[in-house]
Amino acid sequence: MANRILIIGGVALGPKAASRARRLDPDAEITLVERGDLFSYAGCGMPFYIEGSIDDVSSLLCTSQGVMRDEKYFVKTKGIRVLGKTEALRIDRERKTVTVRDLRDGGVRELPYDKLVLGVGAKPIVPRMEGIDLGGVYRLYSPRDAQAIRSELDSGVRSVAIIGGGLIGMEVCGAFVSRGCRVDVFEMMDRLVPALLDEELSLLLENYLRERGVGIHTGSPVKGFRGEGGRVTTVITTDGGEHDAEMVIVAIGVRPNTELAREAGLEIGATGAIAVNELLQTSDPDIYAGGDCVENTCILTGRKVYAPMGSTANKHGRVIGDNVTGGSTRFPGVSSTVVFRVLDYNVGKTGLTEREAEALGYKVVTALTPRPDCSSYYPGSSSFIVKLVADRETRRVLGVQGMGLGEAVKRIDVVATALKFDATLKDLADLDLAYAPPYSTAIDAIAHAANVVRNKIEGLARGVPPVALRARLEGDEDFVLLDVRSEEEFREGSLSDRRVVNIPLDMLRDRRDELPRDGEIIIFCRTSVRAYEAQRALEGLGFRDVKFLDGSLKAWPYPL
Amino acid sequence: MANRILIIGGVALGPKAASRARRLDPDAEITLVERGDLFSYAGCGMPFYIEGSIDDVSSLLCTSQGVMRDEKYFVKTKGIRVLGKTEALRIDRERKTVTVRDLRDGGVRELPYDKLVLGVGAKPIVPRMEGIDLGGVYRLYSPRDAQAIRSELDSGVRSVAIIGGGLIGMEVCGAFVSRGCRVDVFEMMDRLVPALLDEELSLLLENYLRERGVGIHTGSPVKGFRGEGGRVTTVITTDGGEHDAEMVIVAIGVRPNTELAREAGLEIGATGAIAVNELLQTSDPDIYAGGDCVENTCILTGRKVYAPMGSTANKHGRVIGDNVTGGSTRFPGVSSTVVFRVLDYNVGKTGLTEREAEALGYKVVTALTPRPDCSSYYPGSSSFIVKLVADRETRRVLGVQGMGLGEAVKRIDVVATALKFDATLKDLADLDLAYAPPYSTAIDAIAHAANVVRNKIEGLARGVPPVALRARLEGDEDFVLLDVRSEEEFREGSLSDRRVVNIPLDMLRDRRDELPRDGEIIIFCRTSVRAYEAQRALEGLGFRDVKFLDGSLKAWPYPL
């Protein structure tokens, strides 16, 4: 008898699992159940539709050849039966059936399965707060939300409040600024994107957005909204602040849809998402789950993490397609790679941040290195900042964050690849990465960052993190802040502090007597390349307490 | 007594080794000897200077802060003694001295060393042929050559012949086309870039350049040049062909400078370059060598290869800097990554080509997959073609080639990283690569290619390489060429062959009776995604001999 494969959820995981299963087993009876009427849509594209860089919302619903992924598409092209507008109500694991209701006519029936697949996704967290149901308060969940938001913009809305300074908050922030809106971002935590970035990078991103006119309100939990005539007008923060807004986007995160699994007695993990093994089986071996409703394994630490991502859902779909047709493919886990674009800024990370690594007990050592993305003489060369995180004892790479106008994302992919194989810092430095002037520097940004960390571990390079220096600048201590850039660069602006002196690197040997041989000297330049050179030169000349500012002025995350 | 480190060669390796040694040992006496008067110049940038995208040749000679890397720079900034315009004549290994001649005054003297470093580079191969010394015949070796070539263009030269269709030939070809020149490329072998690319990719590149008006003459060895008044006018090929050219660039490759090493009795490897161990010591442990004058180890095969590259020279420099100051850092080798840009085309490879892998005895299996570089609905999305090469038995990834208008180079870096760790196809497919619509597709091009190869190994996907299909099209055999694109796409053009029939994928199940159940069917579409789907569908319906065209029309390397 044909294998009956029943799949709940038609957005990312479900269609992928169904398609793979069909290619593997032409005789299987494959049924896809979806509560809505949109299938396989590109939810990640919604901010770009709002922005206007995608004209037609239907391009998020079509194949790259422009074919709408509707019920007919799945039946005709894939040989998959699709039940749209159909809600799964409960699973009977004994009888191996799922009770579903047709949302059009209310009809209830039971669908039998041999293998059941849950691809039920996640939904935005909607906080219970005053005014959350006012007109003009949106979440961004489906293409219909995106259409509604865009038509608000088209009809003249010009000020938007975004509740939540995380990934989605940042993407829609960029979209609204591009549309000429006044944007305010409210983040409960004390900095932007706190779950993905370390403090320096959060601050650098904040500076960038402030320069673009965005109002950033960190450490500002929102209490609720007030409106007039049923329409939002004001955001109210817990400290009593009031901020005008013609529209509000609530983007404080998503939560896995686990009700169906929970009611069926399937195991829910500590992260709150459905627990699965490497075969993506739930605690019932005939029920598989994947995509945004399950938890993943972190390949670095073995811990369970909740890391919903469209790319992971697609990988899950292939694995499940294999396994519901008799295969035994394993999914090893994720390194929690996340990237996003905000206006011209490329931002991302993979692996552990410094904060996460420290919390896990690693002896962390980092580099904060500004770097051009291609040869600095090549037209269009842009810089970006790399923060590389490693373990001092094993010299293993733990993670990277990258940010800037330059091509940061390529380097995140390189580290994501390296993390898969427990790479060390030397491994990164030895990589035979592609070099030609339009693409890279002769020493690629990642190799450079790895070498800086190696220099630190070997006691050659002594870095001071900008956050630490900033704290010391507020005190009265005596130390020298040595700017080794040229006099011309110095005149254009430097750190404003009474302790700053300028001696260009090429005069350092001659003018050494101007510096205190036993006093503390913290050196900086533009990117720290010259500052490190100067640190070693002064040490060679007998100076005893010399350090450099990590990332120097390019990575200084405060106003100058 | 201070460690005396003597370095011959001031372009890439030498200055890097000197700088690293200085940072490690402040007391060492470091001397850098250079035959010319330009130091540390960015030779890789010369094509872009010719093209005009770099205005001032001095930007190739300066740091990114605009400081000229001259003798004073090294003395003042780095504490390194530099002897410019000084030629190394011979090494006396017994007495540990190098005899040098000052090219300005002819003075000869001996320089003592404790550790000697050879960073003597490579020089362009200049074939002995008629007319090679005519005016207007150039090599591209130093920034002075680039200046001379550019001033020819500025003074009106408008037709250029390039002898050699390899990496440098391609880069300068792009530069001249950008400057509005008529360009002819003469390549002795039967296709472009034969050392780096497999046949399909060579042909695709050739098509692209022909469309841009470049004359491509493959299988056309050049016999010599004819001129008038001492100035080149004509390129003569061995088959007697004559081609007008106002300027000629000879770019048939480089050869390592080994005379100094050879005369000192140091071991020369089978590749013709200086042999070194993992510490980059020559056969004399007090003499190190690196950069373009040495051979490298291929990290995949352990074989020695000659793979000169500025990025490798920089890595060598750091390793040698460590080791001449008491360290024991090892350089593991290269995967022979090479990338270049020709006009808007990004081209590159890492690891083994199919041809190389076959010659080494691997059971090769490949994917040829066109793919968008980011979500196809995202503005600016461009496609490129990936050729992934793997070993059928171990499923190990052996190499990749990428080419197109899209961001191919990022994916080459990912595979270069994976090759370092003996990655399998499943490893590639499982990578947690960065996904967001501006950067990638939910299934990245590399994961897609890896999955296609896995499908082939598992007997699910049956590909026909375009080169093989082309050969069969010329015969009379009966088979069906099934185009499963939409009728609209089909009307815009398809393979022109009597055997072509069009049945769109979504009609395939209904119209199956139009196809021969036992006859051979070769399916194609635009990128092969639908063709593979159709192959599996037909097999599921009982068709026995169904295959698809690798890469379909997007990767078809012949005129349609």
Calculate how close chain A gets to B470, using CA atoms only, in Å. Answer: 26
Neighbours of A511 (CB within 10 A): 11
| pLDDT of res. B400 | 98
Q: Nearest chain B residue to A412 by CA: give it.
A: B434
pLDDT at A57 over 90: no
On whether any CB of chain A is under 8 Å from the CB of B435, the answer is yes
| pLDDT of res. A1 | 81
β-pair partners for B403: B347, B385
Q: Which of A12, A79, A431 sits opposite B537 (nearest CB)?
A: A79
Cβ–Cβ of B536/A460 closer than 8 Å?
Answer: no
Q: B252 and B123 in contact (C-beta within 8 Å)?
A: no
Q: What is chain A's alpha carbon radius of gyration, rounded to the nearest angstrom?
A: 27
The confidence band for A58, taking pLDDT boundaries of 50, 70 and 90, is confident
CATH number of this structure's domain B344-457, picked from the four choices 3.40.50.1980, 1.20.1440.230, 1.10.490.20, 3.30.390.30: 3.30.390.30
Measured in residues, chain A has a length of 560
Rounded Cα distance between A507 and A534, Å, is 10
The one-letter amino acid at A254: V
Q: What is the Cα B273 distance to its own chain's centre? A: 19
Q: Could you give the 3-state DSSP secondary structure of residue B311?
A: helix
Q: Are strands B338-342 and B345-351 parallel, antiparallel or unpaired?
A: antiparallel
Task: Identify all chain A residues contacting B27, using CB atoms and an 8 Å cutoff.
Answer: 540
Q: Which of A332, A410, A423 sits opposite B410 (nearest CB)?
A: A410
Cβ–Cβ of A53/B413 closer than 8 Å?
Answer: no
On whether any CB of chain B is under 8 Å from the CB of A341, the answer is yes
Calculate how close chain B gets to A458, using CA atoms only, in Å. Answer: 11
Cβ–Cβ of A537/B26 closer than 8 Å?
Answer: yes
Do the first three CATH levels of A4-121+255-323 and A137-252 match, i.e. the same topology? yes
The confidence band for A55, taking pLDDT boundaries of 50, 70 and 90, is confident
User: pLDDT digits over A386-434, tens only?
Assistant: 999 999 999 999 999 999 999 999 999 999 999 999 999 999 999 999 9
Cβ–Cβ of A509/B76 closer than 8 Å?
Answer: yes
Cβ–Cβ of A341/B417 closer than 8 Å?
Answer: no
pLDDT (mean) for A192-208: 97
Q: Where are the alpha helices (DSSP H) in B119-270?
A: 143-154, 167-178, 199-211, 259-263
Cβ–Cβ of B48/A438 closer than 8 Å?
Answer: yes
| pLDDT of res. B514 | 97
Contacts of B59 (CB under 8 A, 6+ apart): A377, B45, B66
**Residue-range domain boundaries for chain A:** 4-121+255-323, 137-252, 344-457, 463-555
The confidence band for A170, taking pLDDT boundaries of 50, 70 and 90, is very high
Which residues of B form the catalytic set? 44
Q: Nearest chain A residue to B59 by CA: give it.
A: A377
Cβ–Cβ of B79/A537 closer than 8 Å?
Answer: yes
Q: What percent of chain A has pLDDT over 90?
A: 93
**CA nearest neighbour of A223 among A237, A239, A242:** A237
Rounded Cα distance between A155 and A275, Å, is 45
**CA nearest neighbour of B346 among B400, B399, B402:** B402
User: pLDDT digits over A336-388, tens only?
Assistant: 999 999 999 999 999 999 999 999 999 999 999 999 999 999 999 999 999 99
β-pair partners for A372: A383
The confidence band for A56, taking pLDDT boundaries of 50, 70 and 90, is confident
For tokens 């479900």, what's the residue? A14
Interface test with A, best of B193, B328, B377 (most A CBs within 10 A): B377
Assign domain B137-252 to a CATH class: alpha beta
Residue A122 parent element (H or E): strand A122-124
On whether any CB of chain A is under 8 Å from the CB of B414, the answer is yes
Rounded Cα distance between A550 and B17, Å, is 24
User: pLDDT digits over A113-125, tens only?
Assistant: 999 999 999 999 9
pLDDT (mean) for A57-78: 87
Assign domain A463-555 to a CATH class: alpha beta
Calculate how close chain B gets to A540, using CA atoms only, in Å. Answer: 5
On whether any CB of chain A is under 8 Å from the CB of B224, the answer is no
Rounded Cα distance between A334 and A155, Å, is 42
| pLDDT of res. B88 | 98
On whether any CB of chain A is under 8 Å from the CB of B439, the answer is yes
Q: Which of B42, B78, B318 sits opposite A377 (nearest CB)?
A: B42
On whether any CB of chain A is under 8 Å from the CB of B515, the answer is no
Give the domain A4-121+255-323 fold.
FAD/NAD(P)-binding domain (3.50.50)
Calculate how close chain A gets to B453, using CA atoms only, in Å. Answer: 14
Q: Nearest chain A residue to B351 by CA: give it.
A: A432
| pLDDT of res. A549 | 98
Task: Identify all chain B residues contacting A435, using CB atoms and an 8 Å cutoff.
Answer: 44, 309-311, 337, 339
Cβ–Cβ of A506/B73 closer than 8 Å?
Answer: yes
pLDDT (mean) for A449-475: 97
Calculate how close chain B gets to A482, using CA atoms only, in Å. Answer: 16
User: Known catalytic residue: A298?
Assistant: no
Task: Identify all chain B residues contacting A505, using CB atoms and an 8 Å cutoff.
Answer: 77
| pLDDT of res. A311 | 97
Instruction: Using 70 as the pLDDT threshold, list the residues of chain B that sit under it.
Output: none
Cβ–Cβ of B22/A536 closer than 8 Å?
Answer: yes
Calculate how close chain A gets to B443, using CA atoms only, in Å. Answer: 6
pLDDT at A536 over 90: yes
| pLDDT of res. A67 | 84
On whether any CB of chain A is under 8 Å from the CB of B310, the answer is yes
Phi-psi category of residue A380: left, alpha or beta, with phi > 0 → left and psi -120 to 50 → alpha: left
Question: Is the model's pTM score more than 0.90?
Answer: yes
On whether any CB of chain A is under 8 Å from the CB of B335, the answer is yes
Q: Nearest chain A residue to B348 by CA: give it.
A: A434
pLDDT (mean) for A292-306: 98
